[in-house]
């Protein structure tokens, strides 16, 4: 067999509404894809039955894997043996799942391949804003400060798409890439999550209802008898997630801030789910109320998308969007207080309120996803004057977190970009 040099990229994400609710498929999430992407670029290289992964932005970031195809009659999938590099569960699991899914005949020889991974700069805190594309940080990848854009999901998705196009002559559908990337990502992280981050990486900006966990639980352990067949049947079956494509209305945009405070709280999701289980009636009322508010925001944004471009004189619509964001934040804080979890901590409340009040054209902001101290996102007018005004405010802002002292807010260059996974020009990566 031969391989086809290929390049794929997948976007990061920001969770504007539906945090925690997305864990239950009866509720929805509003998630936007971002312009920051992770790229995977393949070339024929190295020994047969070997796949090497390089990430030149980091020191010591090279992994080499020996691929052993299953013996005749075996249905346990390929064996992947790391021969170089520290353990990387996301890379190793993605290789194992994709090559097992392709069912390459046991008497074949897998051509050697080298895949280079690049991450756009906004995935990691940079020493200054004036750095080249794919800036080399020259630190171990485990020491780089992530900005919370969903790098593991984007990596898994881009690598899945790249491996499929490299080793298979048949173009994979978005659904195949999604299902296979979800399977690999959930296995690598050791749990079946909601999958919203992989969904955004594949399909782009969307309203998402999750899949039922038993779909993936039925696949079983890699290497066990029947694994390859179960994996193929799972990936090729019809899942029960739903995707409704969406976008930020023309005239509006998102702006991300990375809060470097060092006091994020672990175990927040676990605590919220424990509270929900122990206080089912109260939790249902809060979640139903938040779902209604989130739907109200989606309806307002849909109304805004019908216009050629949002103008400052569209005062009523803009005020309604601003009010809806504030109501959602009230609901999020109520859930956090009931569960004893700082989903929107007081320091974040102070930051969001101050930025919205100080900057004309900012409709509001939220603490995305699971919340805490890591990030903020603002919905605002897409005007250079407004962007620069908010950027200046945030650059001067002193964030006062609880327990770890003061921190700063780094404004990220990324913004909404609604396309999901895509093929790229291999020749465009002359870095």
Q: What is the pLDDT of residue 208?
A: 98
Secondary structure element (H or E) that encloses residue 134, with its range: none
Least confident of 94-103, 199-208, 298-307, 384-393: 298-307
For 18-30, how does the pLDDT look when each residue is reduced to its tens digit (9 = 90+)? 999 999 999 999 9
CATH number among 3.30.70.890, 3.40.50.300, 3.60.150.10, 3.90.1150.10, domain 252-411? 3.30.70.890
Residue 402 clears pLDDT 80, i.e. is over it: no
3-state SS, residue 84: strand
Q: How far apart are the first and last CA of the chain?
A: 29
Apex CA 31: angle with CA 28 and CA 35, to 5°? 170
316 burial via Cβ count (<10 Å: 0-12, 13-18, 19+)? exposed
Q: Which two tokens stand for residue 211?
A: 């899949």
Residue 284 clears pLDDT 60, i.e. is over it: yes
3-state SS, residue 166: helix
Q: Does the reported pTM lie above 0.85? A: yes
Q: What is the pLDDT of residue 401?
A: 64
Using CA atoms, how far apart are residues 39 and 31, in angstroms rounded to an integer?
21
Phi/psi region, residue 167 (left: phi>0; alpha: psi -120 to 50; beta: rest), is alpha
Residues in the chain: 431
For 64-98, how does the pLDDT look when each residue is reduced to its tens digit (9 = 90+)? 999 999 888 889 999 999 999 889 999 999 999 99
Using CA atoms, how far apart are residues 126 and 124, in angstroms rounded to an integer?
6
Of the candidates 202, 254, 261, 265, the residue with the CA atom closest to the CA atom of residue 412: 254
Long-range pairs of 301-304 with CB within 8 A, sequence gap ≥ 24: 301/246, 301/248, 301/249, 302/246, 304/249, 304/251, 304/252
Using CA atoms, how far apart are residues 206 and 30, in angstroms rounded to an integer?
6
Q: Which two tokens stand for residue 318?
A: 């803009």
CATH annotation of 7-245: 3.30.230.10
Question: Hey, where are the domains in the chain?
Answer: 7-245, 252-411
3-state SS, residue 55: coil
- DSSP for 251-276, written as a single string: TEEEEEEEEE-S-PPTTHHHHHHHHH
| Residue for token pair 């019809």 | 238
Q: Check: CB of residue 156 under 8 Å from CB of residue 94.
A: yes
For 92-116, how does the pLDDT look when each residue is reduced to its tens digit (9 = 90+)? 999 999 999 999 888 889 999 999 9
Least confident of 144-148, 152-156, 406-410: 406-410
What is the DSSP pairing of strand 375-381 with strand 252-260? antiparallel
Residue 431 clears pLDDT 60, i.e. is over it: no
pLDDT, average across residues 175-186: 98
Using CA atoms, how far apart are residues 147 and 134, in angstroms rounded to an integer?
15
Q: Which two tokens stand for residue 349?
A: 């409340």
Least confident of 315-324, 394-403, 412-421: 394-403
């Amino acid at each position: 067999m031969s391989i086809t040099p290929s390049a794929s990229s997948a976007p990061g994400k920001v969770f504007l509404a539906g945090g925690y609710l997305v864990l239950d498929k009866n509720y929805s999430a509003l998630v936007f894809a971002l312009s920051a992407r992770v790229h995977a670029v393949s070339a024929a290289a190295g020994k047969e039955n070997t796949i090497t992964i390089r990430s030149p932005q980091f020191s010591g970031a090279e992994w080499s894997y020996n691929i052993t195809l299953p013996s005749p009659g075996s249905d346990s999938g390929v064996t992947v043996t790391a021969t170089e590099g520290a353990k990387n569960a996301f890379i190793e699991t993605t290789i194992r799942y994709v090559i097992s899914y392709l069912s390459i005949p046991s008497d074949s020889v897998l051509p050697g391949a080298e895949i280079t991974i690049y991450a756009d700069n906004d995935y990691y805190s940079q020493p200054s804003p004036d750095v080249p594309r794919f800036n080399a940080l020259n630190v171990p990848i485990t020491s780089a400060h992530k900005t919370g854009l969903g790098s593991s999901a984007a990596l898994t998705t881009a690598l899945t798409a790249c491996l499929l196009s490299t080793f298979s002559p048949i173009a994979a559908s978005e659904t195949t890439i999604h299902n296979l990337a979800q399977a690999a990502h959930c296995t690598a992280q050791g749990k079946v999550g909601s999958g919203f981050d992989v969904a955004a990486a594949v399909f782009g900006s969307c309203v998402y209802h999750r899949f039922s966990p038993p779909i993936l639980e039925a696949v079983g352990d890699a290497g066990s008898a029947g694994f390859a067949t179960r994996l193929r049947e799972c990936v090729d079956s019809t899942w029960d997630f739903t995707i409704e494509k969406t976008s930020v209305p023309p005239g509006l945009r998102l702006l991300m801030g990375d809060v470097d405070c060092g006091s994020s709280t672990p175990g927040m999701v676990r605590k919220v789910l424990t509270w929900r289980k122990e206080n089912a009636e109260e939790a249902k009322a809060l979640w139903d109320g938040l779902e209604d508010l989130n739907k109200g925001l989606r309806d307002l944004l849909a109304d805004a998308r019908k216009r050629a471009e949002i103008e400052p004189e569209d005062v009523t619509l803009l005020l309604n969007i601003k009010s809806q964001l504030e109501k959602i934040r009230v609901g999020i804080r109520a859930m956090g207080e009931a569960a004893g979890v700082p989903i929107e901590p007081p320091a974040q409340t102070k930051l969001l309120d101050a930025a919205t009040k100080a900057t004309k054209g900012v409709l509001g902001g939220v603490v995305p996803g699971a919340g805490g101290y890591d990030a903020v996102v603002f919905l605002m007018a897409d005007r250079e004057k407004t962007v620069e005004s908010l950027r200046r405010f945030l650059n001067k802002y002193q964030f006062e977190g609880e327990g770890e002292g003061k921190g700063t807010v780094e404004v990220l260059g990324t913004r909404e970009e609604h396309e999901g996974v895509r093929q790229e020009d291999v020749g465009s990566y002359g870095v």
